[in-house]
Amino acid sequence: MVRAPACVALLALGACETPQVVAAFELPPESAQHRAAETRLFETRDPNELLSASAAVLQDLGFHIEESVRELGFLRAAKERSAREHGQEIWRVAALILSFGKLLMPISLEQKIAATLVARPADAAGTRWEVRVVFYRVVWDGDGKSGDNYLPPGDQSMQMVRDPVVYQQFFAKLSKAVFLEAYTL
């Protein structure tokens, strides 16, 4: 009988919602647009063919497959690239000159571009499959080189790739790879 008062107390505490907690679970208005760009429907009875074609497209784009779980329809791939941009070097030199050699701004050194793909049935018959791919990148900042000494990257940041052209190109190549028409949701 001790359980009943504890349950009443938990229900009472659960009824006290703070605006910050509720706001943390709200999706931004543009999340529906992002999901629509990241998702396509394919009509096929062979999900393994769809996953194999997805892996091939990612590899054609320079990614290497890091993890694949066919039973779950899951792929994770990544590629590493330089994150250096000419504009960063110009701003870095300008800041160094304007600060009389006291300010050495960090620059982006390396980046890891990753893709996560999930394919799941969109109907009970298993003839339509929803494929969702998300691209993101992790960028490591550092000071680059000091003389002949390489300075390892320091801070890192993660950024979602939101450019719809990237997703359109991926799904166009996937459609060609499996000889199927992709349908937007």
Burial class (CB in 10 A: 0-12, 13-18, 19+), 15: exposed
Only one residue has tokens 């709200």, namely 26
Q: Which CATH architecture has domain 30-178?
A: 2-Layer Sandwich (3.30)
Break the chain into its structural domains and give their ranges. 30-178
pLDDT given at position 111: 85
Specify the pTM.
0.71
- For the chain, which ranges sit under pLDDT 70? 1-22, 24, 83-89, 91-93, 95-96, 98-109, 143-154, 180-185
Q: How many Å from the N-terminal Cα to the C-terminal Cα in the chain?
A: 51
Contacts (Cβ under 8 Å, ≥6 apart) of 80? 110, 111, 112, 113
